[in-house]
Structure 1
């Protein structure tokens, strides 16, 4: 029981300390932030998502933000409605859809198409609720995805139970919103359906690399832009100079690796995709997880900085790998330059530079770090038994508590936790 309690305390302290990244642009003179300052930045970050609302972007484009983890986007075309992404729940999908429809005060115009940017559940599960309503109206709705989206869904379903447990931990689903959980980084919180959704998504239209299609009286270009996922679709409406970039850009450092578990996300492909969409010269940028951005110069600068952040971490990881550094050592060496580290769209609310480095390393050469001792490691249980022969359990717990107390004392006197001490306490009690 002592071990469980101490481990929990260390985890809380560690995550509170690493929330030292914030909303807006922290001044380099105030870096690193104290725990209280970091907490304030994280609370301010929530203001992106609350209150939930429909944003009139312009050019008959609307974004429903704050209804669920992901946004729902509506294009009001001359001949119908097109929806991009449908959130993760049936209830929130319908609420967002109602508010979007009410924004234009027209329920007679048919829903002609739903475009899904990728296979993650927070982007497609609500589709079924919209299709139910469309059927009652006699509307024929086309569903667009990349040709690999169904394969990605099938692959991820193999580990559905395991992934669900880890996803619950990543997004803090068991925590009390507003108290223990301030936000989920890319949205206020991840939501869940009240009942199991058994429907199977069946796209009517898929594409391989790029395709152009006429929908609702408008021309849409669908482009494969590998990044957060391999099936990621970006949508471009030339007549409106409007770009919908899915999950390839957040108002947070990207998850080059998600701690819930995912196949390697190739960082080089991600930043090349950002270059591809930046070249379009969009006047309107509508992401799937944050507020829209208006203005060609502002959008171009944003894509440049986001690209540079990902490319810097990738290039520096490669550099130190070629210098024969191991992952832990690379993490200690690679620090983002201030111009990127303090950028409001690159603060580590969601992804982490350290985790990204480890993912890039493993994605390129696999799990083995080159140290012979890592080839056939002891299990955690075997290691614990061996350590018990040289250090008693009470002694380890005492040492762990001492490390925790040192960090706590420093927190009380200076406002800063000591991550190394917290990490050691965590390793001693796991």
Structure 2
């Protein structure tokens, strides 16, 4: 059943990715002898080997109880080992219910991760409020609270680590990509590749506008390294499995090609002295890969990757001298509104731009009108309409989240 389902996803006949629920809620599905796949928002890979249970990734605080129930329906073996593919919260919060069992027996699982996961957890504590706000905005979850207590790894490593449990070998290799703390997992007995979030069935999450630095060039290297392993099964931490060495290699190498194209174009223009705005308007991903089911821009977007590359290699100054030491946004907005004939005139211009299909310009004008007249209900009605329209017409989770949040802000004030 899983192989047939994975084939449908590969052919674009079904959707299963970081933004599509796919098989979520089906429990642990057996992929190979002693290997299970628990699909959720943050998949978990389960292993039963010589009476032991091992997990690669452990799900989120919101699904830990369900994970435990489903795994226990699959095996009663004690959890001895867990691996974090990286430190995002949808991958590191599922050991608790298992460890409650083990504490009764005087045992505790050993958790393995890259050493930078510890620094991530420390940063999450320092920026707890900010992370709550940006994730509420991104996922439209106003009640979401960001955790402040984390299950730290027991064993960390810098470059490579091999762990043997029962009859299985887990080779871990550090990589940078979406995060600086990623671990690629390789289980040679099954020719099984565990890429974590380095492959998520959409374009790489490499430019997220509200999150910390991503590493596009290093991500390309990681994709090619994985492609060279000869895997016959790939179980990503988001999205469907891929079966077959040829398909796995194609998916990884084409994702690398897609991402490297953005890197090369951006660096060429940066080195030529172009402004950030010029680069964002000029760089485009390879057109011949646009129809691949695993290269749709439904979570992140190419232009966000370009901005992230600029941040990584060019700093925060975007080449526009007015932006080096700018006037406050509200001061600029009021000046422009005065020149235009008042905030209402700016709002009318925003609606005109929207009706003519220039949603980007409409966004600028509506935001300026609201900054110039923050208590004007009519202006906020226009701002809400503009950003609700923008949200409806976007494909990526990132853009939809920000624009929907902006529309909701003005709906409350209109």
Closer, same or farther: CA 429–136 of 1 in aligned 2, 3 Å: farther
Deviations 1:36-71 (A, max 9, x none): xxxx989997352545443322132111113xx211
Alpha-carbon separation, structure 1, partners of 2:258 and 2:201: 13
Match of 2:83 among 103, 115, 139: 115
Report what 1:88 is aligned to.
60
Q: Is 1:423 paired with 2:363? A: yes
Report what 1:36 is aligned to.
none
Q: Is 1:173 paired with 2:148? A: no
In the TM superposition, 1:320-331 aligns within 5 A as 320-331=269-280
Contact 1:112 1:216 in 2 (8 A): no
Closer, same or farther: CA 42–225 of 1 in aligned 2, 3 Å: closer
Contact 1:94 1:130 in 2 (8 A): no
| TM-score, reference length from structure 1 | 0.77
Closer, same or farther: CA 197–387 of 1 in aligned 2, 3 Å: closer
Deviations 1:2-25 (A, max 9, x none): xxxxxxxxxxxxxxxxxxxxx878
Question: What secondary structure does 2:20 align onto?
Answer: helix
Report what 1:98 is aligned to.
69
Aligned length: 360
Structure 2: 5+ residue runs without aligned partners?
1-8, 371-414
Contact 2:54 2:82 in 1 (8 A): yes
Measured after TM superposition, the shift of residue 93 of structure 1 is: 1.6
In the TM superposition, 1:116-155 aligns within 5 A as 116-155=84-123
In the TM superposition, 1:18-417 aligns within 5 A as 46=20, 48-66=22-40, 69-89=41-61, 92-103=63-74, 106-107=75-76, 109-174=77-142, 199-262=149-212, 264-391=213-340, 392-407=342-357
Alpha-carbon separation, structure 2, partners of 1:318 and 1:369: 14
Deviations 1:224-270 (A, max 9, x none): 011111110111111111111111111111221223321x2121111
| TM-score, reference length from structure 2 | 0.80
Q: CA RMSD in A?
A: 2.6
Contact 1:406 1:421 in 2 (8 A): no
Structure 1: 5+ residue runs without aligned partners?
1-22, 27-39, 175-190, 408-417
Deviations 1:259-317 (A, max 9, x none): 3321x212111110111121111111111011111111110111101111111111111
Moved more, 396-405 or 43-52: 43-52
Report what 2:398 is aligned to.
none
Alpha-carbon separation, structure 2, partners of 1:276 and 1:132: 38
Deviations 1:154-191 (A, max 9, x none): 123221101210111112224xxxxxxxxxxxxxxxx9
Structure with greater contact order relative to length (CA < 8 Å, sep ≥ 6)? 1
Alpha-carbon separation, structure 2, partners of 1:75 and 1:370: 52
Measured after TM superposition, the shift of residue 213 of structure 1 is: 1.6
Question: What secondary structure does 1:247 align onto?
Answer: helix
